[in-house]
């Protein structure tokens, strides 16, 4: 059986059916709507990062749903993404087109396996330097650094502290859990 490989053009032509989709190496993947706990953590952490980045002039922060076009057949929608000023040319009217500096995924029961597996591997394959996994159930944020073609844990955070690439920002992880 031959698998149909979809492209960004196919993805962009999808009818607006109220669903969220991603393109994983040409395969269309349905992303379920996140729950309220997920969204609460997303908005609190996203607002904190946005304020810090804006005040320091470090680049831009976007939250889902924002397309991150990593290739013509890989389009993801990270929960939060950061593009530093050096790479601002990646930001277009339609999407972030290339690997952002940081992607953040807030785990949900329906996405945790994908975020820790296939999606993480796609980010690594396309050269995203920093990947954070926010695990509300464990009340933990793990910052991973791309080393070669895989991520290595750079810093876990369970209380107040800083995470790379924002070493001058103290994040009180205990304040973002609902």
Number of domains present in the structure of the chain: 1
Read off the pLDDT of residues 55-85 as tens digits, 9 standing for 90 and up: 999 999 999 999 999 999 999 999 999 999 9
Is 45 within a domain? yes
Q: Which residue would you say has higher pLDDT here, 32 or 6? A: 6
pLDDT digits (tens, 9 = 90+) for 110-154: 888 999 999 999 999 999 999 999 999 899 999 999 999 999 999
Token pair recorded at residue 121: 């591997």
The domain in which residue 87 lies consists of 34-175
Tokens of 21: 């989709």
Q: What is the pLDDT of residue 174?
A: 82
How many angstroms separate the first and last alpha carbons of the chain?
46
Note the pLDDT tens digit of each residue in 20-35.
999 999 999 998 889 9
Contact 104, 160 (CB under 8 A): no
Q: Considering the domain boundaries, does residue 126 fall inside one? A: yes
The reported pLDDT for the residue numbered 42 is 95
pLDDT range class, residue 177, cuts 50, 70, 90: confident
Residue 116 lies in a domain: yes
* Residue at 47 is within a domain: yes
pLDDT of residue 178: 62
What CATH number is associated with residue 128? 3.90.1570.10
Is 3 within a domain?
A: no
Let me know if residue 113 belongs to a domain.
yes
In a domain, 75, yes or no: yes
Q: Which pairs count as long-range contacts for 38-44, CB under 8 Å and 24+ apart, including other chains?
A: 38/79, 38/106, 38/107, 38/108, 38/136, 40/176, 40/178, 41/106, 41/134, 41/136, 41/176, 41/177, 41/178, 42/79, 42/80, 42/106, 44/175, 44/176
163 occurs within a structural domain = yes
């Amino acid at each position: 059986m031959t698998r149909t490989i979809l492209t960004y053009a196919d993805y962009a032509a999808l009818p607006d059916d109220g669903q969220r989709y991603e393109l994983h190496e040409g395969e269309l993947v349905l992303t379920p709507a996140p729950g309220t706990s997920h969204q609460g953590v997303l908005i609190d952490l996203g607002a904190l990062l946005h304020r810090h980045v804006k005040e320091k002039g470090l680049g831009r922060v976007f939250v889902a749903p924002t397309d991150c076009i990593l290739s013509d057949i890989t389009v993801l929608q990270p929960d939060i993404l950061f593009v530093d000023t050096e790479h601002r040319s990646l930001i277009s009217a339609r999407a972030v087109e290339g690997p952002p500096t940081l992607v953040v995924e807030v785990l949900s029961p329906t996405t945790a396996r994908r975020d820790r597996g296939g999606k993480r591997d796609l980010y690594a394959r396309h050269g995203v330097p920093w990947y954070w996994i926010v695990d509300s159930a464990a009340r933990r944020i793990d910052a991973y650094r791309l080393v070669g073609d895989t991520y290595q844990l750079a810093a876990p955070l369970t209380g107040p502290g800083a995470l790379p690439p924002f070493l001058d920002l103290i994040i009180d992880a205990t304040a973002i859990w609902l």
